[in-house]
Structure 1
Amino acid sequence: MPSNSNALESDSSLIKTITEKHRHQPGALLPVLHEIQASFGFIPKDAVKQIAEGLNLSRAEVHGVISFYHDFRYTAGPQARVCMGEACQSMGSAALLDRAKALLGDGVEPVYCIGNCACAPNIEVDHVYHGRVSPEVLDALLKKREAAA
């Protein structure tokens, strides 16, 4: 139990440090959320109150921003996202999605436009975007990811 308590204290301390670092910037909420998400892989639900207090915002304002942007999440996110926009679908992203799901299971989610249509099909693996992805490129990216883990 003490280690769990220490972990919560260190999480709270890190959130406070991040909030203090950005609090005097105009529009500080987005940089705070990005840094917290980069640190934890998600936004801890308990952080909403602390962020709101640190930035003099309501909890509803903080939650509203987190829930509006699809890149912010309250739980650990997928390891890969496959674009299912029209350009990507026309270049075979449905097959890439099936292949990625077969390899990663629930660690894959479809998204409906990564915004790199000229280089379709597109995927994101561990927050890095890749264009013109073939099944062979997907396999190589996932093998490289697995080797790094």
Structure 2
Amino acid sequence: MQSASTDIAARAIGIIDQLKGKEGPLLPILHELQEEFGYVPHETLPLIAQALNISRAEVYGVVTFYHDYRDHPAGRHVLKLCRAEACQSMGGDALADKARQLLGIDWHGTTADGAVTLEPVYCLGLCACAPSAMLDGEVIGRLNAETLEEIAAEVRL
């Protein structure tokens, strides 16, 4: 039987080999790894570095620079709350505090039951409908405390 780490490496090598010939392949490779695994497994970083002939530090720097890449699996649902100025000016800070309280987690945390991961995002492009959020890729404008409570209950099911 193949170990989990060996399985991850084999699947990652397939993705890397498929995309390494593209121009500027690092971001597409990271994107596909996250799509495949739900995060970018740490053990894939040296594989990427070797295939692209760059240092592991360069790969790690890109993974940690972009907030959308995760180094661990997310919950079944991902709730992103906009932290940009327009949303903050429309009550986003209070909603962020409420979300953390309702879910019992902080930014980048996942509830103990694995139901939801809470992430900050800096602008969803819904400034005219601030404050905004995104739940599992679906944008939500004009977020308020009542809607946030409904979302928190929904993702905990």
Q: Does the alignment reach a TM-score above 0.5?
A: yes
- 69-78 or 87-96, larger mean C-alpha shift: 69-78
**Distance in structure 2 (CA, Å) of the matches to 1:37 and 1:127:** 15
Paired letter, 1:37 = Q
SS at match of 1:80: strand
TM-score, with normalisation over the residues of structure 1? 0.81
Quick one: percent identity of the two aligned structures? Answer: 42
State yes or no: 1:144 paired with 2:143.
no
- CA-atom RMSD in angstroms: 2.3
Which residue of 2 is the match for residue 59 of structure 1? Answer: 56
**1:127–1:104 distance in 2 versus 1, CA, 3 Å:** farther
SS at match of 1:132: coil
Paired letter, 1:71 = D
Offset at residue 84 of structure 1 (A): 2.4
Offset at residue 8 of structure 1 (A): 0.8
**1:99–1:70 distance in 2 versus 1, CA, 3 Å:** same
Of Structure 1 and Structure 2, which has the larger fraction of its residues in helix? 1
SS at match of 1:75: coil
How many residues align? The count is: 144
| Residues 80-112 of structure 1, C-alpha deviations (whole Å, 9 max, x = no match) | 332222211221112211221122122334444
**Distance in structure 2 (CA, Å) of the matches to 1:116 and 1:13:** 40
SS at match of 1:90: helix
SS at match of 1:73: coil
SS at match of 2:104: helix
SS at match of 1:25: coil
